[in-house]
Amino acid sequence: MEHKREFEKVVEKKVENTVKKVVKVIAMVILGVLIFLLANYLLMRLWNWLMPDLFGVGTVTYWQALGVFVLAKLLFGFGGGSGSKSNSSHKKKLKSSNNCRPWRRDFDEWKHYDQFWQEEGEEAFKAYVEKIKNDNHDTSEEN
């Protein structure tokens, strides 16, 4: 008899926990739907308040605002990429990739650019411009 009572208690706790989980899920779904409907109502109110005065467009009904809201979500995404977990793993992948290593090496060499320009660059540039002028002058004489 005692074994039967223990079994009944265990089953009763499992059923109680399952019922709690189901109630929580239903409450979350209802809350999500209410938040969605409220967001749509706010979109309609904001549209009807701002858009006619700013851009001269007509007002929208609740269902038209819902269509605009869904269209915007389809076009611009649902915004699920801002989680810290996915963001940090992306940064780790980016840091560990060796694809940019040749560019980094080339970039390190650019720190000498100002010194080169002061010592040799200006004279080399003037000589290059003179060469181009002379080459252009020679081709224009031939024509």
Could you report the per-residue pLDDT of 80-94, keeping only the tens digit for each?
Answer: 665 555 555 656 665
Specify if 85 maps to a domain.
no
70 and 97 assigned to the same domain: no
d(Cα 49, Cα 59) in Å, to the nearest integer? 8
For 101, the domain range is 93-143
Specify if 87 maps to a domain.
no
21 and 61 assigned to the same domain: yes
Specify if 86 maps to a domain.
no
61 and 26 assigned to the same domain: yes
Region of poorest pLDDT, from 5-19, 23-37, 39-53, 129-143: 129-143
51 and 108 assigned to the same domain: no
Which of 77, 101, 129 is the last residue in one of the domains? 77
**How many structural domains is the chain composed of?**
2
pLDDT value, residue 1: 75
19 and 57 assigned to the same domain: yes
25 and 60 assigned to the same domain: yes
1 and 46 assigned to the same domain: yes
Q: What is the 3-state secondary structure (H, E, C) of the chain?
A: CHHHHHHHHHHHHHHHHHHHHHHHHHHHHHHHHHHHHHHHHHHHHHHHHHHHHHHCCCCCCHHHHHHHHHHHHHHHCCCCCCCHHHHHHHHHHHHHCCCCHHHHHHHHHHHHHHHHHHHHHHHHHHHHHHHHHHHHHHHHHHC
Other residues' Cβ atoms within 10 Å of the Cβ of residue 21: 10
pLDDT value, residue 40: 93
- Give pTM, 2 decimals: 0.48
142 and 99 assigned to the same domain: yes
pLDDT value, residue 18: 96
Task: Please say whether the beta carbons of 41 and 62 come within 8 A.
Answer: yes
pLDDT value, residue 126: 84
Q: What is the mean pLDDT of residues 22-33?
A: 97
